[in-house]
């Protein structure tokens, strides 16, 4: 008779509470989660989530990040794949390879990356071309 179909789903129902790595915490390894993730410490590894990744002002990630949205105030070095919006705050420092659908950059942010927009794939980095006879030729 009464249906719960019209109620909005909470974060817990969608994939759990947001995850957080606090300041003064260092982690080495890979993280896979369906919930949002906030990094205020240091991560040497990869993050894959169907949610949002936030790198706080003191946060640092070295590795590969795959997410839907990302807000970065801290530092990132590696491969960053964001399927929707990447927002860089003025204190952000980004180095590496980035693929995004939409990009927002505040004045003052450092963005030293090879960037591809809209495709959802990482840009190729000096891949040698292969001819039809199987030999490799310089591009």
pTM of the model: 0.74
What pLDDT is recorded for position 125? Answer: 45
Concatenated DSSP letters of 19-86: EEE-TT-EEES-EEESS-EEESSEEES-EEESSEEEE-TT-EEEEEEEESEEEESSEEEEEEEEEEEE
What is the sign of the dihedral through the CA atoms of 110, 113, 117 and 119?
negative
Q: Using alpha carbons, select from 103, 101, 98 the residue that is nearest to residue 80.
A: 98
Comparing 29 with 10, the larger pLDDT belongs to 29
For residue range 55-93, what is the model confidence (pLDDT) as tens digits?
Answer: 999 999 999 999 999 999 999 999 999 999 999 999 999
What pLDDT is recorded for position 5? Answer: 52
- 52 pLDDT tier (thresholds 50, 70, 90): very high
């Amino acid at each position: 008779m009464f249906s719960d179909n019209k109620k909005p789903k909470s974060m817990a129902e969608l994939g759990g509470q947001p995850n957080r790595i606090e300041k003064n915490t260092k982690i080495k390894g890979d993280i896979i989660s369906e919930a949002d993730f906030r990094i205020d410490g240091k991560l040497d590894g990869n993050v894959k989530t169907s949610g949002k990744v936030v790198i706080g002002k003191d946060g640092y990630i070295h590795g590969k990040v795959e997410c839907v949205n990302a807000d970065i105030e801290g530092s990132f070095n590696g491969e960053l794949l964001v399927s929707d919006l990447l927002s860089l705050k003025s204190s952000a420092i980004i180095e590496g390879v980035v693929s995004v659908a939409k990009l927002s950059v505040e004045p003052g942010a450092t963005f030293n990356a090879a960037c591809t927009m809209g495709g959802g794939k990482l840009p190729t980095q000096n891949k040698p071309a292969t001819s039809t006879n199987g030999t490799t030729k310089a591009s």
